[in-house]
Structure 1
Amino acid sequence: MKKHFKAITLPIISVIICLTSCKAQKAQTPKIIADGAELTLVADDYEFTEGPAVDSNGDVYFTDQPNDRILKWTAADNSVADYMKPAGRSNGLYFDQEGNLLSAADEKNQLWRIDSGKNVTVLIDDFKGKKLNGPNDLWVDGKGGIYFTDPYYQRSWWTHNEPPQDARRVYYLASGSDTPQIVADDNFDQPNGIIGSPDSKTLYVSDNGTKKTYVYSVEENGSLSNKKLFADMGSDGMTLDNLGNVYLTGDGVTVFDKNGKKIQHIPVPEKWTANITFAGPEQKTLFITAMDSVYTLEMAVHGVR
Structure 2
Amino acid sequence: MKLPATLFIFTIFFNASANAQETPLIAEGAELQLISDGFEFTEGPAADANGNVYFTDQPNNRIHKWSVETNEVSVFMEEAGRANGLYFDAEENLYAAADKHSELWKISPKQEVSVLLDNFRGLRFNGPNDLWIAPDGGIFFTDPFYKRPYWNHSEKPIKEQRVYYLTPNRKGLFIAAEGLVKPNGIIGTPDGKHLFVADIEDNKTWKYEIGKDGKLENKTLFTAMGSDGMTLDAKGNLYLTGNGVTVFNSLGEQVLHIPVDKEWTANVTFGGKDGKTLFITAMDSVFGLEMNVSGK
Query: TM-score, length-normalised on structure 1?
Result: 0.90
Q: Secondary structure at the match of 2:59?
A: helix
Change (3 A) 1:27 1:223: closer
Does the 8 Å contact 1:29/1:263 carry over to 2? no
Task: Pick from 25, 28, 37 the counterpart of residue 35 of structure 1.
Answer: 28
Which amino acid letter does the alignment assign opposite residue 109 of structure 1? S
Change (3 A) 1:257 1:29: farther
Instruction: Write the mapping of 1:117-132 to structure 2, written as runs, cut at 5 A.
Output: 117-132=110-125
Which structure has more RCO (C-alpha within 8 Å, separation ≥ 6)? 2
User: Which has the higher mean CA deviation after the structures are superposed, 289-298 or 174-183?
Assistant: 174-183
1:179 Cα offset (Å):
3.7
Does the 8 Å contact 2:189/2:232 carry over to 1? yes
Change (3 A) 1:28 1:116: same
Does the 8 Å contact 1:61/1:72 carry over to 2? yes
Rounded to whole Å, the distance in 1 between the matches of 2:117 and 2:19 is 47
Q: Do residues 173 (structure 1) and 156 (structure 2) align?
A: no
Q: Deviations over 1:163-196 (max 9, x none)?
A: 111200000101112442001011x121000000
Change (3 A) 1:183 1:123: same
Instruction: Write the mapping of 1:231-246 to structure 2, written as runs, cut at 5 A.
Output: 231-246=223-238
Structure 1 gap ranges (5+): 1-23
Query: Going by fraction, where is strand more abundant, 1 or 2?
Result: 2
Change (3 A) 1:183 1:79: same
Q: Deviations over 1:113-156 (max 9, x none)?
A: 00011110010021100100000000000100100000000000
Cross-structure match for 1:193: 185
Change (3 A) 1:29 1:132: farther
Task: Pick from 276, 279, 286 the counterpart of residue 284 of structure 1.
Answer: 276
Rounded to whole Å, the distance in 1 between the matches of 2:58 and 2:202 is 24
Change (3 A) 1:121 1:26: closer
Q: Deviations over 1:5-52 (max 9, x none)?
A: xxxxxxxxxxxxxxxxxxx94478521100000000011110000000
Instruction: Write the mapping of 1:91-106 to structure 2, written as runs, cut at 5 A.
Output: 91-106=84-99
Rounded to whole Å, the distance in 1 between the matches of 2:18 and 2:93 is 43
- Number of aligned pairs? 280
Query: Going by fraction, where is helix more abundant, 1 or 2?
Result: 1
Identity over aligned pairs, percent: 55
Rounded to whole Å, the distance in 1 between the matches of 2:18 and 2:141 is 37
Rounded to whole Å, the distance in 2 between the matches of 1:176 and 1:281 is 32
Task: Pick from 254, 259, 262 the counterpart of residue 262 of structure 1.
Answer: 254
Q: Secondary structure at the match of 1:221?
A: helix
Q: Deviations over 1:217-268 (max 9, x none)?
A: 0002101011011111111000001110000000000000000000000000
Instruction: Name the Cα RMSD after superposition.
Output: 1.2
Cross-structure match for 1:203: 195
Does the 8 Å contact 1:111/1:122 carry over to 2? yes
Rounded to whole Å, the distance in 2 between the matches of 1:119 and 1:178 is 21
Change (3 A) 1:62 1:194: same
Structure 2 gap ranges (5+): 1-16
Change (3 A) 1:158 1:98: same
Change (3 A) 1:27 1:104: closer
Cross-structure match for 2:5: none
Does the 8 Å contact 1:127/1:179 carry over to 2? no
